[in-house]
Amino acid sequence: MTTAPVVEKHYQLILWMLPKLAKYPRDQRFLLADRVERCLLDILNLLLRAAYSREKKEYLAEANFKLEETRYLLRISRDMKYLSLKEHHFASVSLLEVGKMVGGWLKTGKE
């Protein structure tokens, strides 16, 4: 089985985001940064589960919710100045693209 394009797109976002999270202030690394990282990894897990499941809808719906949660966490990060406007924009656009791919996958029920 080949990797679903949405999985690869989200994987690339995680690789880009992890070094940014490591630079959060020490007191936020174990709170906000950890929460963002956990959401990103949860989304990856849900996308992989959907890719290998016959019943994709539940996993994709949960991934959609996690994407929204991540958007808000990144917004907090931007407002607290842990992410620059440029970094926030890149992450937001990436999450939007992943969200559109998930939405399309949900509608078709296919990869």
Report domain extents, the chain.
1-21+58-105
Cβ atoms 82, 24 nearer than 8 A = yes
Is residue 25 within 8 A of residue 82, CB to CB? The reply is yes
Residue whose entry in the numeric block shows the structure tokens 């791919």 = 101
pLDDT tens-digit map of 11-33: 999 999 999 999 999 999 989 99
In this prediction the pTM is 0.93
Taking only the tens place, the pLDDT of each residue in 43-81 is: 999 999 999 998 899 999 999 999 999 999 999 999 999
